[in-house]
Structures are given as C-alpha cells and as structure tokens.
Chain A
Amino acid sequence: TEVEETLKRIQSHKGVIGTMVVNAEGIPIRTTLDNSTTVQYAGLLHQLTMKARSTVRDIDPQNDLTFLRIRSKKHEIMVAPDKEYLLIVIQNPCE
C-alpha cells in the first residue's frame, strides 16, 4: 500500500537508523526497531512533543507545532506530529 511504500522509502534514506509511527496516546503502531527501544522512544518522545506543542501554543495560541528535530551527538531524531499520530525517524547524519 502507499503507506507501506512511504515508510519503506523513508527507511531507505541514507543514514536512517529506525522509523516508527505512534498514536496519540503514545502506543506504537508501526516500527522498524525492536520492541523495547520502540516503547522507550514512543513514551519519551510523545511526552516531549506534547510539551513542545503546549509551549508553542502558550506563547501564541494561533501557532502550532509543525516539526520537531532533536540533534544529539550521535544522531538526529525527527518527529512529525499530527492530530492523532506521530512519525518518529532517527537518522545518523553522515560525516
């Protein structure tokens, strides 16, 4: 299906370590990593996204969070939020 294709395409990008889709409550729906890692990422990033969104909206209620990128020493975590779902991609930027 298209969804599967999109996910496959994202996963095949250079440097991508893992991809997962999480629902609004933080329960993972689709993932390419193992269960324990997925669950950990899902729980933590879900809360962080909620916090980021509330921060943005507190400053300006007309505003909303569109994308969240967390750059760390080892890799970059990209979170694309939506009303009901969350797409999380972990990439190792090549150097």
Chain B
Amino acid sequence: MAPKNPKQKSPNSPKQPTRGKKRSTMVASVNEEVEPVNMEVMGHPEIYPLVLTTKTQEIFNCRVDEDVTDDQPYKLIKKEDIFEDFKNRGAISDFHPVKKVIQEYPGDEILLVYDKDFKYGLNFYVIGTEEGKENYLNPPEVLEDQEEYKEYSSEEVYIYKAPVSKPWISLGSEKEIEEESVNEATKQTTYMISRKRRKFGAPIKFSDHNASSIKDAYIECTAYPDKNFTLQQVEKDVGMQVIPQIKDRGTQTRWTYPKNATTQYYPREFSEEEKEAVGQSKPFADFFDNVSVGQNSVEIALQQNEIMNTFIDDWKCLAEEEGTFVDKTDTQLKEYQSFTDLHSPMEKMITCVAWHPTIYGLIAVSVAVRLSFEDRVLNSGKLLLQPSLILLWSFSDPIHPQLMLEGPDDIFCFQFCPSDPNIIAGGCINGQIVMWDITAHADRIENIKSGGGRSKKPILKPMFLLEPDSNKEATYIRHCAVSSIENGHRKVITDIHWLADTFEINRMGAVFENRNGICCQLVTCSADCTVCFWDIRPQKALLPQTAEKKKEEVIEIPFDVPSTFLHLDLSWKPLAKVRLSKGETSVDHCPTKISLNESHISQTPVGLNTLHTFSSILAQDRAGKMEEINPYQNLEGGMAGHLKPIDEFCTKFFVGTEEGEVIYTDWKLERDPETGRLMSKKPVSMHTVHDGAVHTIQRSPFYNDIILTIGGWNVAIWKENVMTGPLLQSCCAPKRYTSGHWSLTRPAVFYVGREDGYIDIWDLLEKTHEPSLSQNICITMITGIKPWPSSSKQQLLAIADHFGTLHILEIPWTLSHPSSNEVSSVQYYFQREVKHLEYVAQRKVIRDKEIKQINMEKERKRSKTYQKSKEQIEAGLKLDYEQYLDLEKTTLISLGLLKISERRSFIDML
C-alpha cells in the first residue's frame, strides 16, 4: 500500500471513538485464497480496499460518477450478487480478494464505498462489518453536526466522561515481556539433609589421612605440557654494560660512631694570699725591672702607638669609598612609579604620606577633598556621602589600592604604630582620632610582592574599562575606634605621633616607665591650640555610674570590624591636655606640627644597616605574637599609679605654629597655686623666624638635638638648648616652601618641596645659602615628602602633590650614600655654627657697648662745640659792633655832618 498521510485519520476518528478494534483473523489458508488485506495498519480493520474494473462496476451498478457520486459515494450490494459474481467469474472477480470477508459477513448487504481520493490506495473499498456499515451510513452527519456544534458553542460545559476500559489489543509487547521475564528454566531441586541430634556439637577429632590410600578419595587435575601452548622464544632482548672489575671484600672493624662529649672545666686561679705572696717575691720585681726599662719595654710600645698609627693606609683614607657600579654623574631623581586614585568622583589632594614600616613596596596616603573652607561648608551635604579614605598602595598594582581604610571624616595626618604596623592612628578634620586595626588583612598585603594569583602583565586599559576586577573587590575597612567628640579636639588635628614604647606619662605629664613594651600612647596637636596626650588602654572606671551609662549606649558594630579598641570607641578622652597660651589678651598659639625628643619616639634611625635588624625583630615579634595573644588585644589600664616617676626625663618639645613661630615648651602640667587647676607651663623659648605657617619640624635622624623647621619662604635649623636663635636661617626663596624632610642616610641633605611642584635638595656640605639641586616633579604644590631606604642599593622618595597623585622617585647614588666622614663633618659644621652664634651673641654685647660708647662720645663732642661757639659769637659781635662804630664815624665825617671836634660830643651823646 502506498503510504498515506496521517491527515486523513482525523475525519475518520470521530466515527470510531467507541468502536472496538477487532483483531482481524489472520488466517493463513493453504489455498490460493489470498488473505484479505485490510486497513488494520491504519486503524480501520473493517475497511478492505478493492479495485473494481469498469465491468464490475457495470455489473453492480456502481459506476463511477454515475451511480456512485460524490454525494453518494457508497452502494449497498447484496451478498447474493457477489456470490453470483464469484460463480461467474471465479478468480478474476474483483471481489475475489475479499471473498473471505464477504463469506463471513453477517448481514445481507455489503457496503461498497467509492474511494475517489484513493485514501486507502484503491478506488473502492468494502466495509467488512455491520457496525462499520452502520457507522458509515448513519452517524457521520450526526457526528459532523456534533462537531460543528462543538466548534461554535464554546461555552458548553465539559461533561466529565469517566474513562471506559477497553479490551486490550495486543501489539506485540507481550513477547518482549516474556523474553525479559525471569523464569525458572528447570525445576528446582530441594535437598533435605538430616543428622542425628546427638551428633551435633560433639567434640571433633581430627586425624591424618592419606588421600592416595583410599581409592577415589580425591580428584586431581594434573598439569601436563600441552603442545598447543608451548612457545619457543626465538628472540631475546639483552642489555650489556661494561663495568670495571670489582671485587667485594668485607672485614670487620670497630665502628666508632659520633658521641657527644663535653668537658667542664674551670680555670686555675690563685687565691688572694697566693697572689700576695707572689707579688712580694723577688722574681716578680725583677721581671718588672726587665719589662719596664730597656729597648723592648711596654711603655715604649705604648708611646709608639700614641705618636703615630703606623698601620694606616693614607691612600685609602684620601679617596672616597669606591666599589660602586652605579654611574656617579647621575644626580637627578628618577621617576619610579606613580599612583593616582581614579575612582573617586571628587577631586582629592593628598594630606599625609607614610611608608609601611616593615613591608617593602607598601605605602599609605590619606586623601582629602580639595576644597577651600567656604566650598567645604557649601558642599557639606555632598561631602558627607564621600568616604574619607586612607589608601594603601603597593608597587605591584598602580591602579587599584590594596586596602582602603575608611574614616568618619577627611583625615589630615596618620601614623603606623611602630610596635605593631597593623595598627594605624589618624587625625581627622573634625578633631577626632581614628584607629584602625588591619591584622585580619595583614597576610593579604604581605604577600603582594609574590603575586598572589593576580596577573602580572601590566595591562593598560583605557579609562572607561577601569572597573574593579571580579577578584579584586574594593576592600573598605572600617575604623575600629574613634575618640569622643565632646572631650577631644575641637578643630582639625594637624599632627599625630606615637610615643615610644619605653615610657608613658600620666595625667600630670610626669613620665613613668612603660612596662608593656609596646607603644600605647599618642600625642596630637590641633588647631584649637591644644596638644593632647592619649592612651589607648582602657581606663579604669572611676565612678560606678559610668557603667550604667555604657549600658544605655549600646553601639552596634559591624561584624568585620575587630574589637581591638572597642573600649575606646566614642568614649575616648585625652589623658592630658596642654594648652599653648600666649597670655591673657592675645590669641593662643595654633600648633601645626610638633617634634618630640628622639628618645621620646621609638624611631630607630632607619640607617641601611639597622633596617634589616628592625624588620627581623618585628618578624620575630610577630611570629611570637602569633602564638601568644596579641598584646594590643589585652591591654590593661595604665600602671602609672604604681610606679615612681622618672625625674631626669626631658619633657620638653618643639612646636611649630600657624604664625610661623617655633616654640620650645614643656608638657608637664603644674598646679596653679591660686586656682588649683592644672596649668601648662609657659614656653621656654619662642622665635618668630618664618613668614608663614610652619609645616615641618623634624629632628635629624643622625643627631638628636638638631631640628629642621620649614615654613613660609625659608628654612631654619636649630639646636636644642641653644636659645639664642637658629644655627642656620636661609634667605627667602622665590617660591613658598610647602613640605620638607631630612634625608635618612645623608646627614647633610634635606629635601624641600615648593608650591610650584619643584623639589629643592639642600646639601649643607656643598652650599648653605641656597639649594644645591632643584628638580621639577609635578605641576602643582607638593604636600608631602617621605624618603625610604628600601634596600642598600635603592632608596625611594615618595612625593605627594596637591592633585592627589603620589610620585615615587628613586634617589641617585650621590644623594643617598654618605661620604665616609660625612657624619663627623656635619657635626663639626653644626658645632661651628653654635660657636658662631655664641660669638655673635658675644659680639653683640661688645657691639652694644661700643655703640653706647660711640654715642656718648658724639654727645660729648656736640655739647663741647656748642659752648665754644657761644663765646666766639659774643666776641665776634663785639668786634663787629666796634667796627660798625668806626665805620659810622668815618662816614659821618666824610659826609661832613660831624666835625672832628664834635666827635667826642657825638660819642658822648651816644
């Protein structure tokens, strides 16, 4: 049959919804009778396609288009007619294929349908069942009507028709099931084994038995060589090696193994009496005679040494230290790297720079918004939304900062704690001190140099692609403590320092020994004219009511903030306050920077040779701390009450102010006898040297008492305890100086930054009246300079500018390596300057005297000349008068008015 499209199924399907599918009887008849092929395959087993020739059509009156039309495509044919046809024509009858069906047909009339479209393959088909006939004849219209009705009435309620079970029509699946199912092939046999009950559990007795003695006691399968499996190895791989002839021999020896052996000994000594005895003996005296007198006496040798050092190599001392492979003619600072924060929306400036004390390549900058005071006030609402950050940059990544420490407000100064670099203290613009603890992130920043999974290729992405990478989230670290707003500073904190870990102070300013071994106190100065000392340890509760107060204020702290300084948060008060007052009437001094004595700050002179020991000590400390509890976690209150104060400690320090004064004052507070309050002492000395605010006061890293102050347009160098004035004061520079720093390796060099982006390098051994080198770094004001000796070959200088960029420059060899006797030369220079000052002071006294003398001389001279001239004038006047008289006489005589004889009377008349 030709394949039919399944489309035709649908119109027929409503015809047979309930009709069961009868299994057609597949009778394989031996006769030549052909099986009637039905359309079972198509779901219509009652339909038997047929071909009817025209003759047949005429016989049965089912001619195409005449009897059988589209309107009436069927014809009922009587069975007897078909049988007659069979008789007449036999096998050639068209109905022959369906003879069987017709014979079995129950009814009388068979329905013959004209298949115009050849739906079933042939032009006619016979419906072999009564039911089929009925269905064909009758219901189609009804069902079609029903169909139509169904199409139009969509609101008909769906009537639930319970599924009617239909008899199962096999499609061949039971064969598969039969194959898959597991059946017992053979019947199972069961055995029953029994034994007498008493034999169970009886003691067993084993005995030996020879298997071969009893016939059939064992069955064996002996191995035999099978010819099928014998292989003859025809080829063989053999390796050969030539070795020297060796002979193995053995002997027995006494094996000595290493054993630890110690010897303990003590030196032989004479007792006192024996020594005396020996000392008195004669040979002793003779020995001394021999030794002290004569050619080879000790004294001559000693004197020889004193006269001259014969072992000195003059050539060596003459030349500078050689052995450098770096070009010595290079004197410029070279740009190494620069960092800018590109993510912030507002323009920022850098306010403070600090290198990480232990980790190479890590530098922290504090950024603040670059606005004047008025603009800050105007935009204060917007500024609140900006995070105030300290960024930690690493050399390995110039675009993304490694850590960002968040503070409550713009930070103007900060410092790493010298004893634990994971603790950072910073001062804000609103007067608060902020503490951070980055111990949790410490290992993250330590391993930066080793790569740590980030790509090492420097990929320069354009600006619009600079989004944070998926593996580098911006790590904002919140501060873990801030100081109390009411009790702390009122204005911006301008400087902050950690006090050394060797001492601590109490409320009065007295100094005590610090038992903790770590830095636990801070000193800050602020624009509200005070210098405050702070303690980071928890203060013992003085009054019981504070405990209640604390219960009320329960501060929620985010989870990722360490609780190191929880006790300080928002309730931190300063330990002692020193007010820098100028007197009753005038405004107090406004400090900008302070400098404590070298022994105050635990700043080991970061020389090249001590840097490694410093870092190794810290590494050991850290390793030690890993096992023990971090001391900062368990700080107890100050022990100051139990110890005696150290008296000979120098409690004075230098302060630089906004007006350009340098003040040397004492931080010890004393009790005012009248009011009983704690008062700060009056400053020891005060000098106004600079024309602008002093922004740098720094002790030299080589000399404890030499201080560099920079402010306004000039530079001054001071020596502590020399009160008369600065040792060196430079003349006004063309541009204002905005920052400065001593060089850490050369005692005569310091760096000064200007407001036009130039850096002036001063070398005191070369020129003292002007800088020895001037180099341009950036286009705007330099706000911070910090050098760092990162290694013995490389020294780096960090320069921060007003536009928020941090430049790292490399210092050339000549500027970083001191000459062999530079320390002593510079010290000698300072001593000379001190002497010069003293000389000037002395000369001033002498000069004053001289001037006084000269003035007195002048006075005296002036007074003397005045007297002389008075007498002269009188004499002169008299003379003139007499001359006049004479003149008068002569004229009168010449005029004839006066006779000579009347002369007398004229004179008498006069």
A52 contacts partner chain B, Cβ-Cβ < 8 Å = no
Q: Which residues of B contact A16 (CB under 8 A)?
A: 302
A74 contacts partner chain B, Cβ-Cβ < 8 Å = no
Map CB proximity to B onto A81-95 as digits: 1 under 8 Å, 0 otherwise.
Answer: 011110101010111
Cross-chain contact B269 with A10 (CB below 8 angstroms) = no
Q: When the two chains form the complex, which single residue of A6, A67, A89 contacts B288, counting CB atoms closer than 8 Å?
A: A6
Cross-chain contact A10 with B305 (CB below 8 angstroms) = no
B299 contacts partner chain A, Cβ-Cβ < 8 Å = yes
Per the bound structure, the CA–CA distance linking A53 and B270 in Å amounts to: 25
Q: Given A26-B268, A66-B295, A78-B301, 16 other A-B contacts at CB below 8 A? A: A6-B292, A10-B292, A15-B306, A25-B268, A27-B270, A28-B270, A30-B275, A30-B279, A35-B269, A39-B269, A67-B296, A78-B298, A85-B284, A91-B302, A91-B305, A93-B305
Considering the complex, give the chain B residue whose CB is closest to the CB of A93: B305
Chain B, range 261-297, C-beta contacts under 8 Å to A = 267-270, 275, 278-279, 283-285, 287-288, 290-292, 295-297
Cross-chain contact A43 with B285 (CB below 8 angstroms) = no
Cross-chain contact A67 with B302 (CB below 8 angstroms) = no
Q: How far, in Å, is B265 (CB) from chain A's closest CB? A: 10
Q: When the two chains form the complex, which single residue of A23, A42, A87 contacts B278, counting CB atoms closer than 8 Å?
A: A23
A80 contacts partner chain B, Cβ-Cβ < 8 Å = yes
Per the bound structure, the CA–CA distance linking A21 and B287 in Å amounts to: 10
Per the bound structure, the CA–CA distance linking A13 and B304 in Å amounts to: 11
Asked whether A78 and B279 contact (CB < 8 A) given A2-B285, A27-B269, the answer is no
Q: How far, in Å, is B629 (CB) from chain A's closest CB? A: 39
Per the bound structure, the CA–CA distance linking A32 and B175 in Å amounts to: 121
Cross-chain contact A13 with B287 (CB below 8 angstroms) = no
B315 contacts partner chain A, Cβ-Cβ < 8 Å = no
Cross-chain contact B306 with A93 (CB below 8 angstroms) = yes
Cross-chain contact A39 with B302 (CB below 8 angstroms) = no
Q: When the two chains form the complex, which single residue of B268, B291, B297 contacts A27, counting CB atoms closer than 8 Å?
A: B268
Cross-chain contact B296 with A80 (CB below 8 angstroms) = yes
Chain A, range 2-39, C-beta contacts under 8 Å to B = 2-3, 6, 9-10, 13-16, 21, 23, 25-30, 35, 39
Per the bound structure, the CA–CA distance linking A42 and B267 in Å amounts to: 10
Cross-chain contact B268 with A84 (CB below 8 angstroms) = no
Q: Which residues of A contact B284 (CB under 8 A)?
A: 3, 21, 29, 85
B312 contacts partner chain A, Cβ-Cβ < 8 Å = yes
B309 contacts partner chain A, Cβ-Cβ < 8 Å = yes
Considering the complex, give the chain A residue whose CB is closest to the CB of B292: A6
Per the bound structure, the CA–CA distance linking A27 and B299 in Å amounts to: 23
Asked whether A84 and B283 contact (CB < 8 A) given A29-B270, A30-B275, the answer is yes
Per the bound structure, the CA–CA distance linking A43 and B267 in Å amounts to: 8
A51 contacts partner chain B, Cβ-Cβ < 8 Å = no
Cross-chain contact A29 with B279 (CB below 8 angstroms) = yes
Q: Which residues of B contact A76 (CB under 8 A)?
A: 305
A71 contacts partner chain B, Cβ-Cβ < 8 Å = yes
Cross-chain contact A13 with B267 (CB below 8 angstroms) = no
Asked whether A80 and B283 contact (CB < 8 A) given A27-B270, A95-B309, the answer is no
Considering the complex, give the chain A residue whose CB is closest to the CB of B293: A6
Cross-chain contact B288 with A69 (CB below 8 angstroms) = no
Map CB proximity to A onto B300-319 as digits: 1 under 8 Å, 0 otherwise.
Answer: 01110110010110000000
Cross-chain contact B306 with A29 (CB below 8 angstroms) = no
Q: Which residues of B contact A80 (CB under 8 A)?
A: 291, 296-298
Q: Which of A2, A6, A28 neighbours the largest number of chain B CB atoms within 10 Å of its CB?
A: A6
Per the bound structure, the CA–CA distance linking A94 and B284 in Å amounts to: 31
Per the bound structure, the CA–CA distance linking A93 and B288 in Å amounts to: 23
Per the bound structure, the CA–CA distance linking A61 and B283 in Å amounts to: 25
Per the bound structure, the CA–CA distance linking A85 and B312 in Å amounts to: 32
Q: Which residues of B contact A2 (CB under 8 A)?
A: 285, 288
7 CB-based A-B contacts, threshold 8 Å? A10-B292, A10-B299, A13-B303, A29-B275, A71-B311, A85-B284, A87-B288
Per the bound structure, the CA–CA distance linking A6 and B287 in Å amounts to: 12
User: Shortest 7 CB-CB distances between A and B: which pairs?
Assistant: A93-B305, A39-B267, A67-B296, A80-B291, A85-B287, A66-B296, A82-B287
Cross-chain contact A85 with B283 (CB below 8 angstroms) = yes
Q: Which residues of B contact A84 (CB under 8 A)?
A: 283, 287
Cross-chain contact B279 with A13 (CB below 8 angstroms) = no
Cross-chain contact B298 with A10 (CB below 8 angstroms) = yes
Q: Which residues of A contact B303 (CB under 8 A)?
A: 13
Q: How far, in Å, is B293 (CB) from chain A's closest CB? A: 9
Per the bound structure, the CA–CA distance linking A93 and B303 in Å amounts to: 10
Chain A, range 30-68, C-beta contacts under 8 Å to B = 30, 35, 39, 42-43, 66-67
Q: When the two chains form the complex, which single residue of A6, A27, A35, A69 contacts B301, counting CB atoms closer than 8 Å?
A: A69
Per the bound structure, the CA–CA distance linking A71 and B269 in Å amounts to: 28
Q: Which residues of A contact B290 (CB under 8 A)?
A: 82
Cross-chain contact B302 with A13 (CB below 8 angstroms) = yes
Per the bound structure, the CA–CA distance linking A93 and B270 in Å amounts to: 31
Asked whether A67 and B301 contact (CB < 8 A) given A29-B279, A39-B267, A94-B306, the answer is yes
Q: Which residues of B contact A83 (CB under 8 A)?
A: 283, 287
Cross-chain contact B269 with A28 (CB below 8 angstroms) = yes
